[in-house]
Amino acid sequence: MQKHPEKLLVGELSFAWLLLALAGGVAVLAYRIAGFSGISSPGAFPLGISAILLLSAGCILVGALRKQSADACDWLDATRQFCRQHFPRRILVFIALAVTYLASIQWASFYVSTFVFLLLSVLYLRGGRPLIALLTSALSVGLIYLLFSLAFSVYLP
């Protein structure tokens, strides 16, 4: 049986290069802590971790370079394919809900904005069952209120 080489996913090679660059940045920051003057120096542990990160990122990059190129024809096609695979509508709508929720905490109370966020999220992600969404949201906000006000004695705005 002949084994076919794996196809490179759209964006995989860019991600591997980015991972290697970030691991290099972590290594530079780890070296700036105290250099490497000895095994018990303050920078020894961060340098060891960054070396593992660099090695891992290098292995991922080598693995990505060995794969066959993606099925995309040009840059625009690759971008469309990447967005279609990694950013489906459900994810984008939920991100919009989360950003709106975080912004609404400032002018609405925490409990009201959390209730509305949970209600809309459950309605959208579970397929529009209003009774279940209402019960889930009310129960969750009620538990949050009880936990913070009674157990932690912290009153949220």
151, pLDDT greater than 90: no
> Quick check: 91 pLDDT over 60?
yes
Using an 8 Å Cβ cutoff, are 104 and 131 in contact? Answer: no
pLDDT in tens, 47-86: 889 999 999 999 999 998 888 776 656 778 878 888 888 8
Query: Quick one: pLDDT at residue 138?
Result: 96
Q: What is the mean pLDDT of residues 111-133?
A: 91
Residue 70: the pLDDT is 64
Token digits of residue 118: 């949970």
| Per-residue pLDDT tens over the stretch 10-26 | 778 888 999 999 999 98
Closest CA to 121 of 97, 99, 142: 97
Cα 128 from Cα 113, distance rounded (Å): 19
Record the pTM. 0.60
Query: What letters, b where the CB count within 10 A reaches 16 and e where it falls short, cover 70-91?
Result: bebeeeeebeebbeeeeeeeee
